[in-house]
Structure 1
């Protein structure tokens, strides 16, 4: 009962409107600012110019000519590429050098020869990829016709009219990737949670500064009850704030938090426990302002290396290696794996790390408390 009374006392911070607004407005504004300012890191795009391909068909291979015509018509219809047949007396290579065309295709008895414009590397790469796919298809159709001549009259791929082809095309839907607001909704939430270590570091120290520590010890309350009550109350109020921040980011910014909210919140709650334990543990090892300074340094380093300000996936070398030791990285990586890959093992690993370090840090704080005469 005493534990609950102390916990409720710690939760009365909700009556301070200014503090409430600050704790909610800070993460929401950070998500909006970082998600907007760094959107190019997630949604980068490259402008592609018009793709015009000049070709000359000698007509020596009727089967190749037939499939080439079908290929160019489909390419023009689906991708907007323009294939133009070279006119009499036109020098295809010279036209490409003069930058009038992306590339030049020569079709004769020896097959297909392509010369691309090196000044348009992206467009040239697209054409090369499509021509490579076409030639592979033609080789397959030629090999199939040798096995059974019936394949010569069949389309390579099934047509809309219902004729069945002898090749079945299938596409695989790529996994969903986080956008800037999606990523920073996760990163800012976990970073703000880590800042609660500063509040936890002052839980006991505030009682000493207000000269209420002796009054607490004189009351019929044990040190363990005081310790447990303060942790429980702070844990509860931080959990409420985290839930609100997640809901705001989800419904205001359309951030994607996945289809398993229970596991998501479990990861976040274990991080809250870790942050509180970190603050309490350091506050008992160090005293006064030194504890707050050390906690702030740890938070800033964890945020910098753990992906609080920029995605860890875009870093290399020392930065990438240092990220593995950041407690913020554990939670961020676990949430990204859980939300976008349905990888529950990463979430379990992060929760075990958070709880394991929490037990260790709380044990240090409790041992230090017992050795002291006061709180």
Structure 2
């Protein structure tokens, strides 16, 4: 019950961690250029090339237009810029990110040049300011990313999903509740006892969830200690979400056994059902928040836990808890009615 999900978290988290990373590493880009004629735009681009070159991109003056285009064809440069009365850019199938960066720099130059031309026309005395613009330190701007439901690690994702899948395995515990009574031949005594059938069902139901609840606590602790899953200040609420799924899974298992009149094939059918729920709910690969997740208890619990945990949306816990408890109550009532009518376990 513990080794299997922990092993899956370790394996899937290790293998697929790169696919969950939102960080993009971009190699240093080289852009070659040639100023074809002496002009204000050529002088402006020469100055821009010197100031714009840095850690991300280098503007390098080519010996000739032919040499610059050859560098692009050979992959030594991302692009070549011919500066005349306008800018002519030559590229050789750059990546979308490289193209975006190059467009960003050239758009910046165009905007600066137009601004400078306008200022000089209006007030030529301000030209000195344009020649010596204030410099900004590379560390002047820092970017801080906050964790969100869309930016979690592979270990965190699979820990959330696998714990939900383990709770779904409560189906097997639910199936064995009344079956064990039959094996021990205590089902007759339970049936003729002067208690309501719903009381017997609820008693067996609570007994079946005890070990699963212990497993839930251990999985949450181990995943935080070894896989870096920070349940945060809403850990108790997250526990309740998982616990409601445990209620539902045990109720489904008991219902399968009761409605099938103890058919041994029900165990195999229940195992298949768990795997279907795991597939739809994103236990093995991400399925997002779309229709597939909404068709699986694992899916709606996974999404609810994620939103509570990373986005601090407390209301996201209401839907999975309410839905799990509602379906559980319907199944318990249906089992009580079925047993009363059929008088069998």
Query: Which TM class, normalised by the smaller chain length?
Result: 0.7 to 0.9
Q: Deviations over 1:317-356 (max 9, x none)?
A: xxx6444312221111222222233333332212222122
Aligned pair in 2 of structure 1 residues 363, 170: CA closer, same or farther (>3 Å)?
same
Quick check: 1:200 aligned with 2:174?
Answer: yes
**Partner Cα distance (2:251, 2:135) in 1:** 63
Quick check: 1:340 aligned with 2:310?
Answer: yes
Task: Look up the match of 1:7.
Answer: none
Aligned pair in 2 of structure 1 residues 128, 198: CA closer, same or farther (>3 Å)?
same
Which of residues 286, 297, 306 in structure 1 aligns to 2:281? 306
- TM-score (normalizing by structure 1): 0.77
**Partner Cα distance (1:353, 1:151) in 2:** 68
Task: Look up the match of 2:331.
Answer: 361
Tell me the secondary structure at the aligned position of residue 329 of structure 1.
helix
Tell me the secondary structure at the aligned position of residue 312 of structure 1.
coil
Task: Look up the match of 1:30.
Answer: 8
* Structure 1: runs of 5 or more not aligned: 1-22, 162-167, 315-319
Which of residues 112, 128, 137 in structure 1 aligns to 2:103? 128
* Residues 39-48 or 96-105, more deviating: 39-48
**Partner Cα distance (1:299, 1:228) in 2:** 23
Aligned partners of 1:235 and 1:272 also within 8 Å: yes
Quick check: 1:260 aligned with 2:234?
Answer: yes
**Partner Cα distance (2:121, 2:234) in 1:** 53
Task: Look up the match of 2:81.
Answer: 105
Displacement of 1:212: 1.3
**Partner Cα distance (2:147, 2:47) in 1:** 35
Quick check: 1:244 aligned with 2:218?
Answer: yes
Mapping of residues 9-88 of structure 1, within 5 Å:
23-43=1-21, 49-57=27-35, 58-61=37-40, 65=43, 69-70=47-48, 72-76=50-54, 78-79=55-56, 81-87=57-63
Mapping of residues 103-252 of structure 1, within 5 Å:
103-108=79-84, 110-118=85-93, 123-139=98-114, 153=129, 159-160=136-137, 173=145, 175-176=147-148, 177-217=151-191, 222-252=196-226
Displacement of 1:25: 1.5
**Partner Cα distance (1:158, 1:49) in 2:** 25
Q: Deviations over 1:215-257 (max 9, x none)?
A: 3345565433322222223333322211210110111111243
- TM-score (normalizing by structure 2): 0.83
Aligned partners of 2:65 and 2:82 also within 8 Å: no
Aligned partners of 1:273 and 1:354 also within 8 Å: yes
Aligned pair in 2 of structure 1 residues 205, 126: CA closer, same or farther (>3 Å)?
same
Tell me the secondary structure at the aligned position of residue 2 of structure 2.
helix
Aligned pair in 2 of structure 1 residues 336, 72: CA closer, same or farther (>3 Å)?
farther
Aligned partners of 1:117 and 1:124 also within 8 Å: no
Q: Deviations over 1:272-316 (max 9, x none)?
A: 1111111122222112213223322221111112111111039xx
Tell me the secondary structure at the aligned position of residue 270 of structure 1.
helix
Tell me the secondary structure at the aligned position of residue 169 of structure 2.
helix
Displacement of 1:59: 5.0
* Residues 338-347 or 246-255, more deviating: 338-347
Task: Look up the match of 1:12.
Answer: none
Aligned pair in 2 of structure 1 residues 45, 107: CA closer, same or farther (>3 Å)?
same
Q: Deviations over 1:189-209 (max 9, x none)?
A: 111111111111111121012
**Partner Cα distance (1:171, 1:289) in 2:** 58
- Once superposed, what is the RMSD of the aligned Cα atoms? 3.4
* Residues 24-33 or 249-258, more deviating: 249-258
**Partner Cα distance (1:122, 1:202) in 2:** 56
Aligned pair in 2 of structure 1 residues 30, 73: CA closer, same or farther (>3 Å)?
same
Aligned length: 338
